Amino acid sequence: MSRSCSHILDKNKLPVVIDLFSGCGGLSLGFQTAGFTLAHGIDMSESAVYTASFNLHWRYGMDKKYINGDIRHIDPGIFKGATDDECIVIGGPPCQAYSLIGKAKLRSLGHDRVNTRDARGYLFQDFIRYVLELDAKAVVMENVPEATDYGGLNVPQYVCDILEDHGYTACWTILNAADYGVPQVRERVFVFAIRGKLAHEFKLPLPTHRNPEDRPTQLQLRMKKFVQFKNFQEPVKPSGDCPDWITVKEALSDLPSLFPSSRSKYYLYKPHIQLEYRTEPENPYQLLMRTWYHNNPKTVTGHGFRKTVRDFPIFERMNQGDNYKAASEIAEHLLEEHCRINNIDREKNEKEYLELREKIVPPYDTGKFVSKWKKLREDKPSHTLVAHLSTDTYSHLHPWEPRGISVREAARLQSFPDGFLFQCSMSDAFRQIGNAVPPLLSKAIAESIRENILLLDEAIKDENSTGDQRLFCSTG
């Protein structure tokens, strides 16, 4: 019997999933929720592997653990003997070499550290190596939009070319997480592939939400130039009857109040500390986040937020949507007030003035730093969360409390359910969340992959059935 006959997918027998560069498991969680079995995962971060293993396996009593290691030094053969099932390979190779933030940091380290000399920029080759050696049934690869021009190389198109040379139907596109019910504008490149020849375009995920302003994002405006690439496929546009994008207020309003004013006492909440929700679920998104695991708890964890004492009074006076320029002006006004109250003259009391200035005014250049601070607007989705949250949370200030967002709030903005636990340091948790694929987007992707596999297998069944009838007729 031919391979195409013997590996027809039973609708109740989906391929198992192998997650490369898994991080804390955002992509895995979406596939698991869509009904796929997670066979393996691997990541360089020990903390991320622990988070993924706990939430995806241990919480269900399964004696399974994602691998902590570097795929460049691990033979894909370790996965082959562990399952006789066909597999789907998913993952997001590290983006530091592509992203604007990462490229700027590398340039600052000297010529030898420019982004195109960074080995992390070529980890997509190891991803492909795993796909081909494991003979994956389907493929999902995620990365930042800047991967479309890595020193002149369009990485997603290059990956599609290689996969097509090996018998896959492949495409790449750009998806915005906000279109899939995530309260965050987050646009990422995705490569999708399936082993075999589809008779139609790849069935991309169907959006569930729409931009209420009905105007393109900056990246959508750039999509016109991507049409020149033969494997680029435009994403499905949301229909007019889709609900509006989920806003920050809709995502966060039921979570516990942690720091009502700049004069509140700061508490360093440990990851396991349980606090009661502020309200009952106020909308379908909050209900989903609370009942993802089929229960409806009254308390929630993950309330760590940064202790930035100097800046709490500044945050309090900032308006929603304000950036560092506004924050700097507020700081100068606060300094003037303190000088007036304490009778400190800038000329006569220079030492006292400089000491007070250091305590009140952030020392950052308003010309270079303006976009690094941003107070969230409650009436819109959040802007993109990034791994830099592990260093500070100035980029995502709480909309109505004078502080940076908490770990749980960051998780909510990425659509991690409230029962998904981050039992690690605050920095590790923020990094894991910022690096992750939002689970709601991943679930939509998993469902589209399942649809494409079933359509291909139905076509193979029809082809084989036709072939059997011809054989019967010729020998009858």
Write the CATH number for 426: 3.90.120
Kindly state the tokens that stand for 442: 């991943």
Kindly state the tokens that stand for 415: 């659509």
Phi, psi of 126, rounded to the nearest 5 degrees:
-70, -35
Kindly state the tokens that stand for 290: 């609370």
Question: Could you tell me which residues come within 8 angstroms of residue 469 by beta carbon, excluding any fewer than 6 positions away?
Answer: none
**Distance between CA 370 and CA 384 in Å, rounded?**
16
Of all residues in the chain, the percent with pLDDT exceeding 90 is: 77
Assess whether pLDDT exceeds 90 at residue 112: no
In-domain check, residue 468: no
In-domain check, residue 470: no
* pLDDT tens for each residue of 35-53: 999 999 999 999 999 999 9
pLDDT at res. 82: 55
Q: Are residues 285 and 389 in the same domain?
A: yes
In-domain check, residue 306: yes
Kindly state the tokens that stand for 457: 């297998």
Of 69-73, 364-368, 472-476, give the lowest mean pLDDT range: 472-476
In-domain check, residue 420: yes
In-domain check, residue 210: yes
In-domain check, residue 60: yes
Q: Are residues 111 and 11 in the same domain?
A: yes
Q: Are residues 116 and 86 in the same domain?
A: yes
Phi, psi of 346, rounded to the nearest 5 degrees:
-60, -35
Assess whether pLDDT exceeds 90 at residue 219: no
Kindly state the tokens that stand for 154: 């369009």
* pLDDT tens for each residue of 259-287: 999 999 999 999 999 999 999 999 999 99
**Distance between CA 254 and CA 241 in Å, rounded?**
27
In-domain check, residue 473: no
Q: Output the domain CATH number for residue 98.
A: 3.40.50.150
Q: Are residues 233 and 372 in the same domain?
A: no
- pLDDT confidence band for 99 (50 / 70 / 90): very low
Range of the domain at 420: 248-435
Residue scoring higher pLDDT (192 or 472): 192
How far does Cα 282 stand from its chain's mean position? 25
Of 143-157, 255-269, 403-417, give the lowest mean pLDDT range: 143-157
Assess whether pLDDT exceeds 90 at residue 5: no
Assess whether pLDDT exceeds 60 at residue 121: no
Angle between helices 46-56 and 26-33 (to 10 degrees): 10
Q: Are residues 116 and 47 in the same domain?
A: yes
Q: Are residues 416 and 446 in the same domain?
A: no
In-domain check, residue 476: no
Average pLDDT over residues 158-175: 96
Residue 29 sits at the vertex; the CA angle it makes with 242 and 250, to the nearest 5 degrees, is 40
pLDDT at res. 369: 86
**Distance between CA 410 and CA 393 in Å, rounded?**
10
Assess whether pLDDT exceeds 50 at residue 300: yes
Q: Are residues 427 and 312 in the same domain?
A: yes
Assess whether pLDDT exceeds 60 at residue 91: yes
* pLDDT tens for each residue of 460-470: 877 776 655 55
Q: Are residues 315 and 359 in the same domain?
A: yes
**Distance between CA 188 and CA 143 in Å, rounded?**
6
Residues noted as catalytic: 95
Q: Are residues 396 and 451 in the same domain?
A: no
Number of folded domains that form the chain = 2
Q: Are residues 227 and 187 in the same domain?
A: yes
Q: Are residues 339 and 451 in the same domain?
A: no
- pLDDT confidence band for 151 (50 / 70 / 90): confident
Residue 372, Cβ density class (10 Å: 0-12 exposed, 13-18 middle, ≥19 buried): middle
Assess whether pLDDT exceeds 50 at residue 55: yes
Q: Are residues 70 and 161 in the same domain?
A: yes
pLDDT at res. 6: 35
